[in-house]
C-alpha cells in the first residue's frame, strides 16, 4: 500500500509542484496517473521511490519511509524512469548483476515476457533499439515480483503492437498484494488496463477514483448537439456529432473515455472536484 499524507514538494519554496496531497493506493490495483506536462507526475513518483524528498508531509510504502532507502524497501519496489539506461552487456549478464537484488525475481517469468515481446536474447542491451530496451526493463520490472511497481511513461518508444503486449503482460502480472502505478501523457495506452485513475492539476488531486465510480458520476457518449446543455463538461466534434462528457444524475451506464475524462477535468476543475467529493 502507498500512503501520502499532506505531501508537499517543490525544488524550492517559490516553485511548489504539488501541495498537501493525501491519498491511499491499495494493493491489487493498477492506477493511472494523468496530468499535463510539468504538473509534477515524475516528481511524485520519485518521492515515492525515495529519490526526491518532500518539503513537508510524508510518504509511506508498505510500512517504509522511502527516503530512508532501507534494503527491505528497495528490494520490494521497482521504479522505471522515463529515460532509461542499460549497460553494454547481454541479457544473461544483466540478470547476473541485477536479479540478486530482488529476492522474488522469477527468471522463467522474465524469459516468457521477452519471448512474448520478441526481444533478441543474445544481443547486447546497448545495441538494441530504444523500444527493445524499454521492453527489456518492463519485463525485468514485472519479473522482480516487487509489491510496488512505479512506471513513468513506460510506453514511450513502443510501437502499436508493443503497446498492446504491454497492456497484456502488465494486467497478467497484477496480484492481490501488488500495487502498480503508471504515469503517462499517452492516455489511450491505459485503456483496458487500469481500474483506478488519478488526475493531478494545479498542485492538487482533482480525481482519485475507480473507473466504476467515474462511470457512476459521469456519462460518456455521442450526442448530435451540445447546445447549452448545463450538464456537459467537455465536448469534442466527431463524425456523428459530439463526443461529450456530462454529469450523470440518472446514473446511465457508459464506458469511461480516459482522454475525454482528462480534458473534462482540466477544463472544469471546480465542477469535477464538486462531483467527486467524498
Give the mean pLDDT of the chain.
91
Q: What letter does residue 106 receive in the DSSP assignment?
A: -
- Over residues 50-55, mean pLDDT: 93
pLDDT digits (tens, 9 = 90+) for 175-200: 999 999 999 888 888 888 999 999 98
Q: Does residue 186 sit in the same domain as residue 230?
A: no
Note the pLDDT of residue 209: 93
Residues 11 and 93 in one domain: yes
Answer whether residue 103 shows pLDDT above 90. Answer: yes
Predicted model pTM: 0.93
Distance CA 209, CA 189 (A): 19
Quote the number of domains for the chain: 2
What is the structure's pLDDT at 29? Answer: 95
Question: Is 69 in contact with 51 (CB distance < 8 Å)?
Answer: no
Same domain, 111 and 75: yes
**Do 189 and 250 sit in the same domain of this protein?**
no
d(CA 182, CA 151): 5
Question: What pLDDT is attached to residue 13?
Answer: 75
Among residues 152, 171, 201, the one where a domain terminates is 201
How many CB atoms neighbour CB 113 within 10 A?
23
pLDDT at 223: 81
Residues 46 and 92 in one domain: yes
Same domain for 120 and 159: yes
Among 151, 167, 201, the domain-final residue is: 201
The pLDDT tens digits of the residues spanning 126-143 come to 888 898 999 999 999 999
Alpha-carbon 231 to chain mean position: 29
Best-predicted range by mean pLDDT among 76-80, 154-158, 225-229? 76-80
79 vs 17: CA distance, rounded Å:
20
43 three-state secondary structure: helix
Same-domain status, 41 and 140? yes
Reference 173, options 121, 124, 112, 98; nearest CA is 112
Statement to judge: residues 58 and 191 lie in one domain: yes
Task: Please indicate, yes or no, whether residues 195 and 229 belong to a single structural domain of this protein.
Answer: no
Give the burial class of 183: count Cβ atoms within 10 A of its Cβ; 0-12 exposed, 13-18 middle, 19 or more buried. Answer: buried
Please indicate, yes or no, whether residues 80 and 213 belong to a single structural domain of this protein: no
Sign of CA dihedral 258, 225, 267, 246: negative
Cβ–Cβ < 8 Å for 263, 232: no
My answer on whether 55 and 168 are in the same domain is yes
Which range of residues forms the domain containing residue 158?
A: 2-201
| Segment holding 223, helix H or strand E | strand 218-223
- For residues 23-32, give the mean pLDDT: 94
Q: Which of 201, 224, 246 is the last residue of a domain?
A: 201
**What CATH number corresponds to the domain at position 181?**
3.40.50.300
* Predicted pLDDT of residue 65: 94
Contacts of 9 (CB under 8 A, 6+ apart): 16, 17, 18, 40, 43, 44, 47, 52, 54, 55
Q: What is the pLDDT of residues 204-238, one digit of tens each?
A: 888 999 999 999 999 998 888 777 778 888 988 88
168 and 49 housed in the same domain: yes
Amino acid at each position: 500500500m502507498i500512503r501520502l499524507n499532506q505531501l508537499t514538494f517543490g525544488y524550492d519554496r517559490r516553485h511548489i509542484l504539488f501541495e498537501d496531497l493525501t491519498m491511499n493506493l491499495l494493493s491489487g490495483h493498477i492506477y493511472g496517473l494523468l496530468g499535463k506536462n510539468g504538473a509534477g507526475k515524475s516528481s511524485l513518483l520519485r518521492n515515492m521511490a525515495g529519490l526526491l524528498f518532500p518539503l513537508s508531509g510524508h510518504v509511506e510504502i508498505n510500512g517504509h519511509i522511502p527516503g530512508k532507502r532501507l534494503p527491505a524497501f528497495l528490494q520490494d519496489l521497482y521504479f522505471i524512469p522515463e529515460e532509461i539506461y542499460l549497460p553494454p552487456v547481454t541479457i544473461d549478464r544483466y540478470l547476473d548483476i541485477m536479479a540478486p537484488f530482488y529476492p522474488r525475481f522469477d527468471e522463467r517469468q522474465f524469459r516468457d515476457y521477452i519471448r512474448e515481446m520478441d526481444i533478441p536474447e543474445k544481443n547486447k542491451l546497448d545495441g538494441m533499439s530504444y523500444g527493445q530496451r524499454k521492453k527489456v526493463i518492463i519485463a525485468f520490472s514485472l519479473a522482480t515480483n516487487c509489491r510496488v511497481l512505479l512506471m513513468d511513461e513506460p510506453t514511450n518508444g513502443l510501437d502499436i503492437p508493443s503497446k498492446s503486449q504491454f497492456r497484456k503482460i502488465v494486467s497478467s502480472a497484477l496480484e492481490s498484494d501488488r500495487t502498480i502505478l503508471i504515469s503517462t501523457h499517452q492516455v489511450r495506452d491505459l485503456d483496458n488496463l487500469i481500474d483506478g485513475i488519478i488526475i493531478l492539476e494545479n498542485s492538487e488531486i482533482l480525481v482519485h477514483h475507480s473507473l466504476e465510480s467515474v462511470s457512476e458520476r459521469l456519462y460518456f457518449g455521442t450526442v448530435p448537439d451540445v447546445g447549452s446543455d448545463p450538464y456537459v463538461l467537455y465536448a469534442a466534434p466527431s463524425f456523428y456529432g459530439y463526443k461529450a462528457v456530462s454529469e450523470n444524475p440518472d446514473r446511465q451506464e457508459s464506458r469511461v473515455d480516459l482522454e475525454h475524462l482528462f480534458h473534462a477535468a482540466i477544463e472544469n476543475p471546480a465542477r469535477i472536484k464538486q462531483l467527486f467529493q467524498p
